[in-house]
C-alpha cells in the first residue's frame, strides 16, 4: 500500500500516476481537540485501516497525481530523526572535504548517535523551497526514511521491523556552516518526505532499498540501504534506547556519497523502484 496525504489533510492511495481518494475513511477516526497522544492518528491505526482503505479504493474518486498538492505522508510527527554519516563512502568524503566537515572532527554514528530536525521543516513531494537568506551553501542529501508504526521503547534490533509502518524517500536539506545540526537542518522545507508511505509488503527487500538522486536530470547519488553503517533495525534500537518512538515518527537513515550544493532553479529528484519519485524545486 502507498499511502499519501494531499490537498490539506486528504487521504489517498497512490496508484501509478493516479490517487484514489479514500478521505471518507477519515470519518472513522476520533475527533479530538487536543490529541492525548503524539501519534499520527492514521498511521497508528494503519493495521486496522488497511483492509478498509483497500476496499474503499476500488470505488473511490480518482485524481491525477499531477493535479494535487502532495503533503508529507506523516502529519506533524513528534520527532524527525536524522542519522549522521551513516554510509562509509559519505564518511570518507565528509572527512576529506573541508566544505563538508567545516573544521570539525567527523565522528562515527556509533559515537554521536542521531540528531533531531524541527517538525515544522516537514513538507511533501513536489514542493518548492526558498533558500534561506545569508547562507553560503545549502546541500541536498537524498535518503530513505523509515516511519514508525507503533510505540517503540528499548526495542532490540531483532524485533525492530515489527514497529515499522513503512518507508518513504526523503531529502535532508542541510546548510553547510558552523551552526549546530538542529539549526542547519531545520529551515522551513528542509525535511521533504514522500511521495507516499510504502508499507513493507510492497517493497522487494526492506534491507536493500535502492535509490538515486538527480539534480536537473544528472545522477549525483546512488546507493541502497544494505550499505548503511547502521541498518534500519539498528537505528530503531539506538533511538528507542533514548526516547520512545511514536507512530508517525520519521527516521531519515542517512545520505550516501555525492552530496553537493543546490542553486536557485534546481530541480532535485529522488527515485526508487520501491518507493517512487520525490521531487523538490529550489528557488
- The piece of 45-53, 92-100, 251-259, 261-269 that touches Mn ion (CB under 5 A) is 251-259
Q: Binding to Mn ion (CB under 5 A): which residues in 164-183?
A: 172
CB of 244 to Mn ion, least distance (A): 23
Pairing of strands 218-224, 276-282: unpaired
CB of 253 to Mn ion, least distance (A): 8
Q: Examine residue 255 and tell whether it contacts Mn ion (CB under 5 A).
A: yes
**Which three-class secondary structure state does DSSP give residue 272?**
strand
CB of 88 to Mn ion, least distance (A): 15
- The C-alpha cell at 133 is 537568506
Report the C-alpha gap between 236 and 29 in whole angstroms: 28
Q: Name which of 22 and 262 has its Cβ closer to Mn ion.
A: 262
Q: Name which of 46 and 228 has its Cβ closer to Mn ion.
A: 228
- The piece of 134-142, 197-205, 233-241, 262-270 that touches Mn ion (CB under 5 A) is 134-142
CB of 213 to Mn ion, least distance (A): 12
- The C-alpha cell at 48 is 486496522
Quick one: DSSP state of residue 132? P
Q: Name which of 141 and 212 has its Cβ closer to Mn ion.
A: 141
CA torsion sign for 100, 223, 233, 5 is positive
CB of 278 to Mn ion, least distance (A): 14
Report the C-alpha gap between 241 and 245 in whole angstroms: 10
- The piece of 17-25, 160-168, 253-261, 264-272 that touches Mn ion (CB under 5 A) is 253-261
Does a cis peptide bond (omega within 30 degrees of 0) precede residue 195? yes
Q: How do the residues of the chain divide into helix, strand and coil, expressed in percent and rounded to 5? A: 25, 35, 40
Residues that bind Mn ion (CB under 5 A): 141, 172, 255
Amino acid at each position: 500500500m502507498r499511502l499519501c496525504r494531499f490537498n490539506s489533510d486528504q487521504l489517498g492511495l497512490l496508484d501509478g500516476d493516479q490517487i484514489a481518494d479514500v478521505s471518507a475513511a477519515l470519518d472513522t477516526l476520533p475527533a479530538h481537540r487536543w490529541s492525548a497522544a503524539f501519534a499520527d492518528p492514521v498511521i497508528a491505526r494503519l493495521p486496522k485501516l488497511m483492509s478498509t482503505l483497500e476496499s474503499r479504493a476500488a470505488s473511490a474518486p480518482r485524481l491525477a497525481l499531477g493535479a494535487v498538492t502532495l503533503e508529507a505522508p506523516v502529519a506533524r510527527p513528534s520527532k524527525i530523526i536524522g542519522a549522521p554519516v551513516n554510509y562509509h563512502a559519505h564518511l570518507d568524503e565528509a572527512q576529506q572535504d573541508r566544505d563538508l566537515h567545516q573544521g570539525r572532527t567527523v565522528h562515527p554514528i556509533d559515537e554521536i548517535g542521531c540528531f533531531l530536525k524541527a517538525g515544522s521543516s516537514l513538507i511533501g513531494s513536489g514542493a518548492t523551497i526558498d533558500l534561506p537568506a545569508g547562507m553560503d551553501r545549502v546541500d541536498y542529501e537524498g535518503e530513505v526514511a523509515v516511519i514508525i508504526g507503533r510505540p517503540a521503547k528499548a526495542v532490540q534490533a531483532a524485533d525492530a521491523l515489527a514497529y515499522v509502518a513503512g518507508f518513504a524517500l526523503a531529502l535532508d536539506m542541510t546548510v553547510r556552516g558552523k551552526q549546530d545540526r538542529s539549526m542547519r537542518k531545520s529551515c522551513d522545507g528542509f525535511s521533504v518526505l514522500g511521495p507516499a508511505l510504502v508499507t513493507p509488503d510492497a517493497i522487494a527487500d526492506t534491507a536493500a532499498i535502492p535509490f538515486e538522486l538527480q539534480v536537473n536530470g544528472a545522477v549525483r547519488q546512488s546507493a541502497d540501504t544494505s550499505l548503511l553503517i547502521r541498518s534500519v533495525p539498528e537505528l530503531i534500537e539506538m533511538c528507542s534506547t533514548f526516547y520512545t518512538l511514536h507512530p508517525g515518527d520519521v527516521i531519515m537513515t542517512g545520505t550516501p556519497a555525492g552530496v553537493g550544493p543546490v542553486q536557485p532553479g534546481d530541480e532535485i529528484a529522488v527515485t526508487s523502484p520501491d518507493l517512487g519519485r520525490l521531487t523538490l524545486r529550489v528557488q
